[in-house]
Amino acid sequence: MSLLDDYDALLFDLDGTIYRGEEPVPGADRAVEAAHAAGTKVRFVTNNASRGPDEVARHLVEMGIRAETAEVSTSAQAAAAVLAEKLQPGTTVLVVGSDALVHEVELKNLTTTRKHGDAVQAVVQGLSKDTSWWDLAEACQSIRARALWVACNVDPTLPTERGPLPGNGSLVAALRAATGTEPLIAGKPATPLMDEAQRSADAEKPLVIGDRLDTDIAGAVGAGLDSLLVLTGVSVAQDLLDAPEDMRPTYVAHDVGAVTEAGIRLGSDKDWPDAVRDALARLGLEHEVA
């Protein structure tokens, strides 16, 4: 028996789970192939709003990982959906982020701009490596003028082959400090992105797989879904040991290859520290916690 026998869909995070920057996580290609072979639906669910679903799918294929555009759910899509629920068609939205985010917003029949003005009724913010102080300044003006503010995600860091680098949450923090305002959040751990991924997979019992306790796992807990923490990205063994109840995964593994195995389950009649220490010992990682 393996996890593929127990779940009808796998909701994979990307950064830190399937790849790190431009490098795939070893075994990710085999895990995805095994899921398809077992008839288990696959969704790639990413908080990174810098690329469109088609770009993400191409990027995965270039890495040797099977993927189709329809299998990708991004926080840009989720943020655009949140805006569409709250705004009238044609409303002007100031975009801080990539052209992919602009495209998703315009698909919802909303007008986009990069400059503050009287017509701006909302600001949407997603990760772009080209974001400058001037972009944040324009958004600051609109937010202070009471525009609706939606953040694609608030991840403080982005896992890369160079290690953790500033994520969208770090730039959101700058605007939060400048405006004294809190954004609505579309990505994990908030529910819009996770709900959309589960809906698109038509899944009754999906397994959420990710590397971050504060986004992937917390999002799964909030949605009432089982989850697998992989130790290939941001969260480490000590973080798992110290995790509060709303960030505790169902399983833990070295990497996504664990989906082809029975899984090391953390739920037991033991208290949390003992359950985690037992699981880490099975992984050979008991030395990584205090």
Which residues are known catalytic residues? Answer: 13, 15
Contact (Cβ atoms closer than 8 angstroms) between residue 212 and residue 155 = yes
CA 255-261-265 angle, to 5 degrees, is: 80
Strand partners, 228: 209, 251
What whole-number distance in Å separates Cα of residue 100 and Cα of residue 76?
8
Q: Which of 218, 144, 132 is nearest to 176 (CA)?
A: 144
What whole-number distance in Å separates Cα of residue 115 and Cα of residue 174?
18
What whole-number distance in Å separates Cα of residue 78 and Cα of residue 184?
11
Contact (Cβ atoms closer than 8 angstroms) between residue 96 and residue 123 = yes
What whole-number distance in Å separates Cα of residue 289 and Cα of residue 287?
6
Q: What are the start-end ranges of the E strands in the chain? A: 9-12, 19-20, 23-24, 41-46, 72-74, 92-96, 111-113, 120-125, 148-151, 157-158, 165-166, 184-185, 206-210, 226-230, 251-253, 264-265
Structure-block tokens of residue 235:
């969260």
What DSSP state is assigned to residue 84?
H
What whole-number distance in Å separates Cα of residue 77 and Cα of residue 124?
11
Structure-block tokens of residue 168:
């969208």
